[in-house]
Structure 1
Amino acid sequence: MARLDIDRLVKRYGDFHAVRDVSLDVADGEFVVLLGPSGCGKTTTLRMVAGFIEPTDGRVRLAGNDVTLLPPWKRNAGMVFQSYALFPHLTVAQNVAFGLEMRKLARADIARRVEETLALVRLGGFGGRLPRQLSGGQQQRVALARALAIRPDVLLLDEPLSNLDAKLRQEVRVEIRELQRQLGLTTVMVTHDQEEALTMADRLVVMNEGSVRQVGSQRDLYERPADRFVAGFVGRSTFLEGTVEAPGRFRSDGGLALACSGGKTGRGVLAIRPERVEIGPTANGGLDNSLPGTVEFVSYLGAQIDIHVRLSPSDRLIVQIANREGGFAPDVGRPVHVGWPASAGQVFNE
């Protein structure tokens, strides 16, 4: 366990900035997730921390030591790769032992540590198998065991669940989080999966185009996004383009006059979370915004239903409702009313 300090990290490839001035402090035992779309610089940042990519500028400190220029095998960092990177010709036990052998531990100590680590990830008795004889979830556990066997100061996870099916992903991410808490490991994980990030992180770091856009807890980023990108990437939002005519008053490009919160006079976008919108057959006069519309599309998602409502020729809103027996669930083409309080609509100026 150790504190990780990333100080103004930069990576350039010619004129292209893969990572721009990224700074982050990860506390001892904290689980931090780097979240963002493909190509945003999150994996490059992680690989610079691991030592597989040399930064153009900036520093990486682990447990108070500057490790910026050290090769990977001289940093006490365990890494789980997206592809797992298991050696196909080695057994499970030999894969887990690899890092320990590179550190020249005694043979008896290696055998004991391999056995302990495989038991930790619930693979006791699998040591003699080859990777091809394992399921995807079991291979993922072997990769995790290999990273944990060296007793790292920091655990680095590069999209470790991306090769698993949806149901197995849900199970394994809970297992990883529980194991991390049990061991008290300082952990940094990269993902583009919002649900994964929201489930596992102590703190989220949202990145885009090589830069950090916002850092905070799940609630901070969801309830108080710093900009339009964060509002659209953490959770879902409907965005209505328009103009802030006065504080608390927004007019969409489709002509809708709406009550809102935040924003300065001028062009902007109104972000509305789908679950904050109410829908029914008649208007709700108790809400700051109450508008008629027509159902254009209904998406049945099991526990929830997404309803796309046309409000004007250029304005469409998504409403998310719980799938309850006897609840209101309109068909396509049906006229409805939607409404939401002013506090549910956040303005971002352009």
Structure 2
Amino acid sequence: MASLTLDGLTKSYGDNTVVQSVSLDVKDGEFLVLLGPSGCGKTTTLRMIAGFVPPSGGSIRIGERDITQLPPWKRNAGLVFQSYALFPHMTVAENVAFGLEMRKVAKAEIGPRVAEALRLVRLEGYGERYPRQLSGGQQQRVALARALVIRPDVLLLDEPLSNLDAKLRLEVRLEIRALQQQLGLTTVMVTHDQEEALTMADRLVVMSEGRVRQVGSQADLYERPADLFVADFVGRSTMIAGTVTGPGAFRSDGGLTLRCAGEAPQGPATVALRPERLTLGAEAAGLDNHAAGTVSFVSYLGAMLDVHVRLNDTDHVVAQIPNRADGRIPAVGDAITIGWPASACLVFPREAA
């Protein structure tokens, strides 16, 4: 196993720069997730690490070894593609063995290593089957075994769960995380699925327009987002546009006066509110910020309820509350009090949007 270092990694196609000077340090054995919307540069970054896309600038090191100019097969990085990329005419065992054969591993060693890789992904006894005889989850495991069998220094995962249904996705992501921890594999995964990223990562990298917006733990990104983009992209937030009028004071465009913790420069700004930080009913009246509103919509999510509350013609907020068996579910049209502490207000200058 080894660490991975990206230093000023850049990729341009003509005048279009899709990755802009990305620098990251991935620790030995760490699971790092690149998270961002489509087109943000995360997959291009991963493919530069793998060697399938030549960088326009910067460098890539695995441990102390500079691999920037090496072809993919000399980097000792295992890659699991989004589409699995299994050879349909080869058996499971032949697919897993392919990378070893390309590396001229002795035939006597290939069989035991293939068997070990299939055991790791719980596919013992499947070696003679063909990909068409497997479920989507099993094909994904074969692709993972093929990446692991070469004993990579770094494991690269490109949207590995996107082709699975929701229930299977949950199961397989837990399996991948457990296997990564068991093997101590330095791993970089690309995804646009926030729940997937939050569940699997040691650290997350949020990207937008080819740039890194923030690097940190799940709590760092959710509780202390670096800018309005991160606050909006990671988790869910209600956005209230307005102006910082003084220390800890904010006035919304709709006329709400709010108290906010922390310091923010005076001028146009946006307040982001996480839905679980909001309180409904009589308890709300004792909080730093509270207002009367009208329930405009209720989303029934099983264990939780999303209650949309209109405060005036401009401002509305969403509160997420537990669905208690003994509690009455708010109805559309109900008059209700909603409140939140000053610490719940995440304030960002308007130009940060």
The TM-score by the shorter chain falls in which range?
over 0.9
Tell me what 2:342 maps to: 342
Unaligned runs of 5+ in 1: none
Note the C-alpha offset of 1:324: 1.2
State the secondary structure of the residue aligned to 2:286: coil
Tell me what 2:191 maps to: 191
* Distance in 2 of aligned mates of 1:108 and 1:67: 30
Tell me what 1:131 maps to: 131
Matched, 1:207 2:204: no
Matched, 1:157 2:157: yes
* Distance in 1 of aligned mates of 2:70 and 2:265: 48
* Distance in 1 of aligned mates of 2:313 and 2:243: 17
Matched, 1:286 2:286: yes
State the secondary structure of the residue aligned to 2:311: strand
State the secondary structure of the residue aligned to 1:232: helix
Superposed counterparts of 1:250-261, under 5 Å: 250-261=250-261
- Contact 1:283-1:290 at 8 Å conserved across structures: no
Tell me what 1:274 maps to: 275
RMSD: 0.8
Note the C-alpha offset of 1:328: 4.1
State the aligned residue count.
349
Deviations 1:176-227 (A, max 9, x none): 0000000000000000000000000000000000000000000111110000
Note the C-alpha offset of 1:320: 0.4
Tell me what 1:232 maps to: 232
Q: Which moved more, 1:259-268 or 1:170-179?
A: 259-268
Deviations 1:81-126 (A, max 9, x none): 0000111111000000000000001111001100010011000000
* Distance in 1 of aligned mates of 2:323 and 2:91: 48
Tell me what 1:177 maps to: 177
- Contact 2:206-2:212 at 8 Å conserved across structures: yes
Matched, 1:265 2:273: no
- Contact 1:91-1:128 at 8 Å conserved across structures: yes
Note the C-alpha offset of 1:326: 1.5
Tell me what 2:70 maps to: 70
* Distance in 1 of aligned mates of 2:328 and 2:229: 32
Note the C-alpha offset of 1:286: 1.8
Tell me what 1:303 maps to: 303
Deviations 1:146-186 (A, max 9, x none): 00000000000000000000011110000000000000000
Tell me what 1:41 maps to: 41
Instruction: Give the alignment's TM-score, normalised by structure 1.
Output: 0.99
* Distance in 1 of aligned mates of 2:88 and 2:14: 36
- Contact 1:283-1:291 at 8 Å conserved across structures: no
2:272 partner letter: A
Note the C-alpha offset of 1:285: 3.1
- Contact 2:285-2:337 at 8 Å conserved across structures: no
* Distance in 2 of aligned mates of 1:83 and 1:304: 34
- Contact 1:270-1:348 at 8 Å conserved across structures: yes
Unaligned runs of 5+ in 2: none
* Distance in 2 of aligned mates of 1:328 and 1:270: 30
Q: Which moved more, 1:117-126 or 1:253-262?
A: 253-262
Deviations 1:234-268 (A, max 9, x none): 11110000000011111000000011123211000
Note the C-alpha offset of 1:283: 6.4
- Contact 1:6-1:59 at 8 Å conserved across structures: yes
1:25 partner letter: D
1:255 partner letter: G
Tell me what 2:12 maps to: 12
- Contact 2:285-2:338 at 8 Å conserved across structures: no
Deviations 1:25-55 (A, max 9, x none): 0000000000000000000000000000000
- Contact 1:289-1:339 at 8 Å conserved across structures: yes
